[in-house]
Chains A and B, each alone.
Chain A
Amino acid sequence: MNPPDISLIPLLFASIFTSNILLANFLGMCSFFSISKDMTSSNGLGMAVTFVLFITSGMNWVVYHMVLVPLGLEYLRYIIFIIVIASIVQITEMVIDRVSPKLYITLGIFLPLITVNCAILGVSLFLEIREYTFTQSMVYGLGSGLGWWLAIMLLSAIRKKVEKGPVPAPLKGPGITAITIGFMAMAFIGFGGMLPVQ
């Protein structure tokens, strides 16, 4: 194994800003679009995604390197990663239901749908392709989660403003949101040269 030569702090910042999972890789868009209408649920979902990303990137690293690689079963990674993610989401769901029933109800269907949030599987696959070490993976997972959270909070704040503006009728809702995301992505890509993460 040949881990990329990047220390942890730059990796954390890179995954939050310069290669933001949402705005640079465009992963996890479905809930980004639909939940960002409301700031409280955006915050809750951001938290849940961060938590799930952090845990699953660690767990998937362990499962991949400790089980799949020694047994020569790398080709099973897609299905195994998804199973791990689904279980973690299930657990997160139970915990949120217990700790904050209000948030549980606001998130509604989007909570179980984290399972199929592309950002989560994407991160697990990136850390395998880029051959991160365990610590790097955890940091990358955390960073990506924080990045996702940051992006959805920014978008929901912007949408709040945009709602009050004179949006042309055909662009109302998803239309203007897509344009907004485009502008946000451009701003984030502006950081791109500073901290390349491969």
Chain B
Amino acid sequence: MDLATVLVAPAALSAISAALAILISLTDKVVNNYGEVAIDINGGSRSFKVNGGANMLVTLAESGIFIPSACGGRGSCGECKVKVNSDVGPHLPTEIPYLTNEQLEENVRLSCQVKLKGDVEIEIPEYLFKIEQYEGVVERIRDLTHDIKEVYFRLTDGALDFKAGQYGQIEVPPYGKVKEPTQRAYSMSSVPSDTNHVEFLVRLVPGGIVTTYVHEHLQEGKKMKVIAPFGDFYVRDTEAQMICVAGGSGMAPFKSIFYDFVEHGTMDKRDIWYFFGARTKKDLFYLDELNELQEKYERFHFIPALSEPEESDNWEGATGLITEVLDEYLRNTISTETEKEGYLCGSPGMLDACMAVMRERDMAEEKIYFDKFA
């Protein structure tokens, strides 16, 4: 086989592929040109024109309206629900698993799966208008444990207004083998009054795109985009006892919530029980800060629990799975007279187990609020 043959085959293959690719993109231009379409939100509260053809999630984000999406539009989180009042075709098989029968009937759609082909009328909660994109510069980044970092951003373009407990999306730029900007959701751990800054706790997940970036590439002075605020995990203003349970970086919203209480002088308004689960002593952090709060405020109780303490830890606190410790306290220590509210933040497994315990101990299901890591 001579050289010509070796060269001709790939050349012919590439030429034919290129010709077909051109043909496809030409058709795409002609066929997928939906022109301008009008979007009407909440019965005329906002309306504007955009270019059709792309999916609704992306198009809305380009117009500055950020629908929550933990997966970034891959159709795998089911967060980006929007009620659509115009006919945009039947539900796709990709949407159905995420929608309840009621939502199917009301034509609630996953906005990342709906292609904008004509004028649409949609309904979204008003608070979504408050969600904006901010440019952040890392002011401080430090290790809290061997696998959790605390990242403190300064927002360079405006102040962020949020309720303690809510979350934001961090967007990391393409790096290494990751070719697209990637967004993931993290709870804010800073207090809302610090409006020009925002802090996140990021735990390293092996293979995670955003966590790997934060742990291996992010340095002080680097820029990152933050889209916030999202979520309904904030403290309800009642007199009920707060039963808070967290694990790992689930600490974040509680840090924000407790220091927000301190600032508002409401730390002594109600009983707060904060259970924090970890495996060994090296997985614990903010111990000094939380113990200080406990000493200062009579009604705040901090219960760190280790499930597998090592000999060298010299651990004198609670031992066992966080669910066992929680159950023990709910039965023996925490008053059964006063009403209780549950606040949970952590991995789905931990959350489900804790919720089961709370239900068992007669806590009302609708008064258990949670922030599940997706």
Given contacts A73-B8, A87-B20, A91-B27, contact A108 B13 (CB under 8 A): no
Per the bound structure, the CA–CA distance linking A101 and B92 in Å amounts to: 12
A94 touches B31 (CB 8 A): yes
A67 touches B24 (CB 8 A): no
Q: Which chain B residues border A80 with CB–CB below 8 Å?
A: 13, 16
B12 touches A67 (CB 8 A): yes
B31 touches A101 (CB 8 A): no
Which of A87, A95, A102 has the most chain B CB atoms inside 10 A of its CB?
A87
Q: Which chain A residues border B27 with CB–CB below 8 Å?
A: 91, 94-95
Q: Is A195 an interface residue (CB 8 A)?
A: no
The residues in A between 136 and 162 inclusive whose CB is less than 8 angstroms from any CB of B are none
B24 touches A87 (CB 8 A): yes
CB-CB contacts of B19-34 with A at 8 A, as 1s and 0s?
Answer: 0110110011001100
Separation in Å of the A173 CB from the closest CB of chain B? 20
Separation in Å of the B271 CB from the closest CB of chain A? 54
Q: Is B100 an interface residue (CB 8 A)?
A: no
Closest to B11 in A: A71
Closest to A106 in B: B90
A79 touches B13 (CB 8 A): yes
Per the bound structure, the CA–CA distance linking A126 and B105 in Å amounts to: 50
B12 touches A73 (CB 8 A): yes
The residues in B between 1 and 47 inclusive whose CB is less than 8 angstroms from any CB of A are 5, 8-9, 12-13, 16-17, 20-21, 23-24, 27-28, 31-32
Separation in Å of the A75 CB from the closest CB of chain B? 8
CB-CB contacts of A56-96 with B at 8 A, as 1s and 0s?
Answer: 00000001000110011100100110011001001100110
Q: Which of B17, B31, B92 contacts A105 (CB 8 A)?
A: B92
Q: Is A98 an interface residue (CB 8 A)?
A: yes
The residues in B between 148 and 173 inclusive whose CB is less than 8 angstroms from any CB of A are none
B16 touches A67 (CB 8 A): yes
Closest to B117 in A: A101
B17 touches A83 (CB 8 A): yes
Given contacts A71-B8, A73-B12, A76-B13, contact A98 B20 (CB under 8 A): no
A108 touches B93 (CB 8 A): yes
Which of B12, B23, B32, B92 has the most chain A CB atoms inside 10 A of its CB?
B12
Per the bound structure, the CA–CA distance linking A94 and B117 in Å amounts to: 13
Q: Is the interface of B mostly helix, strand, loop or mixed?
A: helix
Q: Which chain A residues border B20 with CB–CB below 8 Å?
A: 83-84, 87
Given contacts A105-B90, A105-B92, contact A83 B28 (CB under 8 A): no
Separation in Å of the B235 CB from the closest CB of chain A? 44
Q: Which chain B residues border A72 with CB–CB below 8 Å?
A: 5, 8
Q: Is B89 an interface residue (CB 8 A)?
A: yes
Q: Which of A73, A76, A91, A98 contacts B24 (CB 8 A)?
A: A91
B32 touches A94 (CB 8 A): yes
A94 touches B28 (CB 8 A): yes
Given contacts A83-B17, A87-B20, A90-B24, contact A98 B31 (CB under 8 A): yes
Per the bound structure, the CA–CA distance linking A26 and B238 in Å amounts to: 71
Closest to A87 in B: B20
Which of B13, B16, B17, B90 has the most chain A CB atoms inside 10 A of its CB?
B16
B9 touches A76 (CB 8 A): yes
Q: Which chain B residues border A102 with CB–CB below 8 Å?
A: 89-90
Separation in Å of the A52 CB from the closest CB of chain B? 14
A87 touches B93 (CB 8 A): no
Per the bound structure, the CA–CA distance linking A101 and B8 in Å amounts to: 42
The residues in A between 37 and 68 inclusive whose CB is less than 8 angstroms from any CB of B are 63, 67-68
Per the bound structure, the CA–CA distance linking A187 and B24 in Å amounts to: 41
Q: Which chain A residues border B13 with CB–CB below 8 Å?
A: 76, 79-80, 83
Separation in Å of the A113 CB from the closest CB of chain B? 14
Q: Which chain A residues border B92 with CB–CB below 8 Å?
A: 105
Closest to B26 in A: A91
Closest to A68 in B: B12
A73 touches B28 (CB 8 A): no
The residues in B between 93 and 119 inclusive whose CB is less than 8 angstroms from any CB of A are 93, 117
Closest to A109 in B: B93
A105 touches B89 (CB 8 A): yes
Separation in Å of the A23 CB from the closest CB of chain B? 30
Per the bound structure, the CA–CA distance linking A94 and B9 in Å amounts to: 30
Separation in Å of the B107 CB from the closest CB of chain A? 15
Task: Sort A-B residue pairs by CB-CB distance and give the 6 closest, nearest first.
Answer: A87-B20, A94-B31, A91-B27, A98-B31, A101-B89, A71-B8
Q: 8 A–B contact pairs at CB < 8 A?
A: A67-B12, A72-B5, A73-B9, A76-B12, A91-B24, A95-B27, A95-B31, A105-B92
11 more CB-based (< 8 A) A-B contacts, given A76-B13, A83-B20, A84-B16: A67-B12, A73-B12, A76-B9, A87-B23, A91-B27, A94-B32, A95-B27, A95-B31, A97-B31, A101-B89, A101-B117
